[in-house]
Structure 1
Amino acid sequence: MNDKFEFFRTEIKKIASDWRNATLKIKPSEVSGLWLCHELSAGLDNIIRRIYEVSFNLALEAAGEHYRAGETEIAIVATGSYGRRHLCPFSDVDIAFIPSEQDNPFVDALIKYAFRLLVSAISDATDLRLGYAYRPLEDIPNLDSITKTALLDACLISGSERLYKELLNQLYETIDVIAFVRDKVAERSSARKSVIYSTEPNIKLGTGMLRDALQILWLLSVINKLHPPVANKLCEVGALQRSEAEMLEEAIDFYLKVRNWLHTRCGRKEDVLLREYQAQIANDFGFEGNERSKINAFFERLYGYAEAVNSLVRDVEESALEMKVEIDEHFYAEHKQLYVKGEDVLLRKPKLLLVAFQHAQRYGLEFSRELKRNIRHVASKVGKVLLRANGCGKELMRILEQPLHQDTIKEMVELGMLQAFVPELERAMRFVPSNRAHELTVGAHCVRTLLNLIELELKSKDSETLMGEVWKEVSDKGILRLAALLHDLGKVISEDEQRHCEAGASIASEVAEAIGLDSESKNLVVSLVKNHMLLLRTARLHDIQDESVLSKLANEIRDVGMLRMLYLLSYADAQAVSKQTFTELEKELLDMLFINLHRYMVQQTEASVPTDISEKWSYLSRRLKKSGLTQKQLEIATSLFPPSYLLNMPLELIAERLQIVDRLTETQKPVIVIRSEPGVDFSELSICTYDDPTPGLLSKICGVLYAKDVDIRMAYVLTANMPASFGKRNIVLD
C-alpha cells in the first residue's frame, strides 16, 4: 500500500508542478482578470479530482468493508477566492472536507489519503499556501459569520453532490440574516480605513475596491437565499438592476486583473499598488500617452469603479440594515427597530418580555414606540408573577450571561422590566440612603454598579492590566452581574453595614430560588452579596500587608474564583457611590489587597511557601538575594519589615525602601521622598528617620502636614529594632 501511495504521490506532484509552471507564464495584462482566475481554478480542479479518484481507490483497498455506495462518502469543496473562481496567481488555496459521517473507517481513510496528497500537490510541489477545514454538516449552524461567508462561495470540486447540496441547504437555512448583515456591515465599516482616492490603493481591502464589491454580492445572496452569489443571478431575481450588475462584473474583472498583475510582478501575494509599480502597470495595461498620461488614465478607470462600488455598497448595507426580517413567530425587525406581532401576545406569554430584550441586544435593535408602550404596560401588570413565571428566570440569566450592552440594562430599568422581575428593586429605586456620600438612590446605585461592571469589562477586554487579567479568569459572568444588581437591596430593610449585607443575601437567596438557579450558582450569588463590602472595608481600615488580616480574609472568602469576582464587584460598587469617594489611593489599596490576598491564597493552596517561620525566613532570604540585594541590606530588610510585608510586596518596592534606609545610615539625617504618578490625585510621602525616645513622632509629623494644609488619606508605620552592627537606635519608616 505504501509503494502504491508513493507512486501516486509522485505522479500528482508532477502534475501540480507542471500546472504551476504553466500558469506563471501567463501574462495577466494580456487577458481579462476573470479569465485568468477561472483558468487557474480550473487547472487546480483537475488536480483535486485526480487526488479524489486515487484516494477513493486507496480507501477501498484499506477499508472497503465499511464502504456503502451513496452513504459513506465525502465532498471536497473549494471555499473563499478559490470557491468563487477568483483564484489569483498567489492566492491561498482553501479546501473544506465534508464527511457523510464521522468515525467511519472508510470515510476516515478517504480523507486521510486525500489530505496527504493535497499537501504534497499544493504545499510541496508549488509555492502556494494550502488552507483546509473539516466541516461535518452538524457543525454548520454554529459557525461564525466569517466562516459562513467563506462557505457562501463554496464550489464542489469532487465527491458527493448530495453532501454539497446538503451543505448549502444547511448554510442558507440556519444562517441568521439579521446577525449576518449586522456583523458584515460592522466588519467592513471598521476595515474601511482609507479613502477611495489613496495614491497607493489596496486593491483587495480599500474603500470601494474588491472586498466592497463582494460585500454587495454576499449580503444580497443571503437576503435572497441565492447561490452562488454572482451579479447576473441577483439581477434575475430583482436584487440588482441590470446596470448595477454590469458595473459590478466590470469592476471585479478589472480589480482581479490588477491583483493578478501585482501577484505576478511581485512573485508573492500583494494587494497594495505602490507608486513604484504604477508606471509599469499603466503601460502593460495598454493605456496611451506619455508616462503621466498613462498613470492618470489608469487611475481614472480604477477610481471610477471604486466610486460606483462604494456608492452601491453603502446603499445595499443601509437597505439591508433597515429591511423587514422575521426573527421568530412573535417578533420582526424593520428600520433597525424591533416589533412584536400582536398587542396581547406579551400579556399572554410574559416570558416574551425578556425574549424581546435578548433580540434587541443580540441584533443591536431599538424598540419600536409600540413595543416600548406594550412592555411598560405588561411589566406594570405582572409584578411578582414574572419572577416565578415558567422559563422567565432562564431568559433573564440568558440576557445576563451574554456580552452585555449598557443600553439593554438602561432600557430594562426605564420600561420597568427589572423592577417587575425583582420587586425589591422598585422600592429601592425610590429609597434615599442616609449616607451622604451616595449620589443615587439605593436602587439606582445597584443599577449603576451593574453598568460599571459592564464598562469595566469592555475597557479591560484583551488588555494586560490587572483588571484585564482578572476578567479573563471569570467564567460565571451572569452570576456576577446578578449579584451587582442585587448587592445593596438589603439597605431598604436596614442601613447598618452588617445587617444590610445579611438582608441583601436573604433577598438574593429568594431571587435565585425563584429564577431557578442550581444550588452552586445560588450559593455563589448569595455569598457575593453577603460579602460585597469585605474587600473595600479591609482596604480602608486594616493593614493590607498583615498576614493575620490576609489569613482571616482567606478563611472567609475560601475560593480564589470568589476573590476575583468580589474584587470586580467591589471596584464597580465603589465607583457607583460617587466620583469623589473612590479615589486613586483607594483604587491602589484595593488592587494591592487583591494582589496580596490572591498570592496568599494561592500559596496556601499550593503550599509554595514553607509555613515554619525559620523556613519562611530562609525562603525570603533566597528571594531577596536573587534580586541583587547585599547582605547588609538583607539584614536591614529582615529587621525593618515584617514577614507579611516582605512576602507580599514586589521586590522593586522593597529595594526602593531599603535605599531610603541606606541614605539615613549614611547621612544620619531624616530622609524624605515624595513619589507621584501621572493621572493619580495623591502623592506618596515616605519619611525615614531614627525613632524618638519619647512617644508621639507620628503625631508630630501629622501636625506639620496639617499645618501646611496637606490632607492625609492613609498612614503606614514601620519601626525596626536594628541589628547590633547598626547601633542601638531604632529606625522608623512612615
Structure 2
Amino acid sequence: MPPRLRPTRLEYVVDGLRLRAQLSAAALDAAGDAPEQRRRALDILKQALFRGRMIAKERLENGAGGIETARLLSGVTDEVVTALYDFTTVHVFRARNPTEGERLALMAVGGYGRGTLAPFSDLDLLFLRPYKQTAHAESVIEFMLYALWDLGFKVGHASRTIEECIRLSKEDFTIRTSILEARKLTGDEKLAEELTRRFANEVVKGTGAQFVAAKLKERDERHSRAGASRYLVEPNVKEGKGALRDLNTLFWIAQYLNPSAQARTDGIVHLEMFERQEVAAFLRAFDFLWAVRCHLHFATGRPEERLTFDLQPEIARRMGYGDRGDAPAVERFMRRYFLIAKEVGALTRVFAAKLESERVKSHPKGISRLLPGRGRPRKTMLEAGFHEEGGRLNIDTPEIFQADPINLLRLFRTADRRDLDLHPDAFTAATRSLTLITSKTRRDPRAAKVFLDILARGRDPQRTLTLMNEAGVLGRFLPEFGRVVAQMQFNMYHSYTVDEHTLRAVGVIAEIKAGRFAEDHPLSTAIMPLIDDPEALFLAMLLHDTGKGGAGGQEKAGARAARQACERLGQDRKRIELVAWLVEHHLVMSDYAQKRDVSDPRTVVDFARIVETPERLRLLLVLTVADIRAVGPGVWNGWKGQLLRELYAATEAVFRGGRGSDAAAAVRRYHENAAYDARMRLVAVDPAATAWAQAMEDAYFTSFAESEVQGHAALARRAEKGGAAAEGHIRPGLNASEVVVAAPDRPRLFVDLAQAVTAAGANVMGARVFTSRSGQALDVFYVQDVTGAAYGSDNAKALTRLAAALEAAARGEPIKTETKRLSDLGRAAAFSIIPTVMLDNDASEVSTVVEASGRDRPGLLVALAQPISEAGLSILSAHIDGYGERAVDAFYVVDADGKKLTDPKAMTSLKAGLMLALDEAEASASSKSRSNLQRARASVAR
C-alpha cells in the first residue's frame, strides 16, 4: 500500500484571500459590464475548483486517507462558495445600508455540513433569512445558484426563516437530520447561532428516542432498496448495508443524543459512550469507505456510488492493491471492502449496547426496532451463565468465556433454541474473546456436539451461523470457513461473497427439511426424510466452497479442507469420506443436468457411475438445489428444477435396474419400455398418428408427457400440409415458454430457427431436435425474455409472433435481424474470459458432444450453430447454460450418415470455426472495456 501522507493545509490548495482579490480585480476591470463580470468571476472560480480537485486527486492516489480527501474537497468547495457569496454581495447586489430583513446567512447542511465531500457530491445549502423573502435576498440567492450550476455543481438548496426551519424539522426527519449537521459558511453570524440554539432547545431536546427510531426505520427501508445483504458483490458504497450511510446513521444518533459533541466526523471521539477501540474501528471504516467513494468519483467523472464489476479492478489499482499468489488484486481489494462492511455491522451492535445501557430502547427485536425505554429490562435466568434481558440473550459476566471457551458456542446454541436475538453486550464480549478458541477447543468433542446442534439440528441455522460469522466465532472455530469469509468471486454469476452464499445455502437446506419448498422442489422435499445422514449433508454444504483458490482446483482443495475439518470435529471415517466426496462432487449433478442430454443413456450411465449409491444421489440432489438457489436472485428457476428431476429419475432407474456393466442395459431397457408404452398410448388415442409414431426415435417418447406427444403429432400433420408449422405455450413451472416447430429437415434448419428466436429478442434456455425416419424434423425450443421470465408471459401476442417467425424461418423465408451494438456487452466487458472448445466422443453412445465456452452475448447460439451446420453436421440437441458473463453451450451432433464425427481434419476445422465465433465476442469486450476507461479519463480531465 502507498505510504500515508501528511495532511495538506488548505491555503496551499486554494488561497481564499488571493481568490477574493482576483474576483475583486475582475469586477473592477469589467465595471459596468455585468455579463463580463460574471464570466470572468466564473473562470477564476473554475480554475480554483479544478486546481483543488486535482490536488486532492493526486494526493489520494499517492496514499492520502479517505477522510482527509473528503475534508480537503469540502474545504476547497467552502472557499469557492464563500468567495462567490462575497463577490455576489459586494460587487453584484451590494446592500450599502442593509435592513434587518436583508440579513442572510449561508449554511452548509447534510453531508456538506459535516465537512466531508466527494468529488462530485451534491451541495446542500441553506439560505437562512430572518423574515420573509426580500427582493435583495432573492436576487443574491438566484445569482449564486445559477453560478454554482455553471460551475458544475448539483445543488440541493432551501431558503427559509428560522421559524420555518424549526417547524419543518419537527415534521420531517430528513430536514431535521440535515439541520442537525448545519454549519455556517458565511453571512450573518447571529442568524446562524440563533438557528443552532433554537434547534437544540425546541427540536432536539427530549426527542432522542423518537429520532433514533425514525433514523433506524429509514435505514431498514434503505437496505431493502439497496439490497438486504452487506455482502452483495457489487455494493453501493454510499447507500448499501455496511456502507457509509450506516456509519452516518450511527454518527447522527450519537450527535443527536449528545449535542455537545463536535459536528464533525471525528466528533464521535468525544462521546463517552464509545471506547477507544470502537472509535478506532469507526474511523478506520469511515476512512476506507470514503477513499473508495472518492476514487469511484474520480475514476468515472460522475457521482458514481456503486462499485460495479467494471470499476472494481481500476479502484483496486488506484488503492495500491496488487496480485498476490493466486489472489488477484481485485479480489484482495474486495475482500478488504467486505471485511470493513462486516466491521460496520459489528459497530452497529456495539452502538446498540451503549444505547441499551442508557435505556433508550427496550424492544427485543434489535436496533432496527428501537422504542423509548420504560425502565430497566427484567432479567430471566436461563441455563448456567446465560439470562434473558429485555427479550435478548445475555451473559452473566464476560468471564464465562474464559472459564470455558465452549460457552462461546453455547451462547449461539442457546439463542437458536430459545429463538432469541443476542444482547449487544453478549455479542461484544464474544468478539473480544475469540483468542480463547484454540486448537484444543476445536478438537473438544463437546464443542463439536454444540456446533453440530447448531448446524444440523438448529431451529434456524442460517440466522445463527450468520450471527456467529459476524462475531468472528464461526471462522475462528472452523478455520477452513474462516479462509473464505468476505471472499468474493470476480464474476457476474455469484451475487454474494463466498461465506454469505454458503450460509444462505445452509438456510435453503433447512427450509427444504422443514417442507417450506415443497412446491418448488417436490423431489428434494420428498427425499429429505429418506436421507440417512443429514449431518453429513449440512457439513458438506457448509464446507463446499472452502476450496476456492486452493491448490489443485476448487473441488480437490475443498475435499482436503472437508476431511481436515471433519477429522478435527471427531467425525467417524464413513462420514468424513462422505462429506469429502460431496464437497469434491458438488458441481457434478448441475453439470450433467444442464450441459448434457439426459435422454442419452450414456449421460445417465456416466453420472450413475460417479454417484454409485442411491444415498449419494439423494444427498447430491439436495446439495445441488441449495447451492444453485443460494447463488443469487433469479438464478434458480423451474427449468433447472426440471432438468435435475429428469436426471434424478433416470439415475434412480439405473440403481433399481442394475449395477456396474448392467447400468447401460438398464437405461436402454428403461427408454425402450417407456417409448413402446408411449407409442401404444398415442396410437390408441390418435390412430392417424400411427405412421408418425413408428417413424419417431425412442429418445423422443421418453422426453415428453403423453399430452405433449399428442400435440406434437397433430402439429406434424399440419406441417405436412403447409410445409411447416409452429406453436408456442407458456410453461410456468419451467419459467420458460416452449415453442415447437415441425418442418422437413434440411441443412441450416436449426441455425435459421435459432436466428429467428434471437431476432425476436428471446433467450434460448435449451433446445431438442428430433428427426423422424421419414425426414421430418421436430425442433423444440425453451425460451425466456431478457428479464428471465417465460417469453410472452407479459404479452401473449409476442409468443404468437415468435411462433409465426419460426414457421416462416422453417420454410426458408428471410429473417429480419438486428445488429447488436458494442454497448450491449455492458458490465461483462470487465472480465477477461478464455474461450474453450471441447469435442467428446465418449460422452454419448451415438453423438459427438461439442462443448463451447466463452463470453455470453446476444446471438451466441446462432454464431456457434453456424460452423456446426457448415461442417455438414446435424444438431440433435442443444443445452445452453449461463454463468453470469460466461456461457457454456453443449451440442449433440452427428454427421450426414448419422454417426459421430471422427475425422481429425474435420474435428480441427470445426474447433477453429467455433473458436473464431467465441474470439469475436472476446475482442468486442476488450474494445468495450478500453473505450469505457478512455471516456472516464477524458471526463475527469475536463
Q: What TM-score, normalized to structure 2?
A: 0.39
Higher helix content, 1 or 2: 1
TM-score for both structures, normalised by structure 1: 0.50
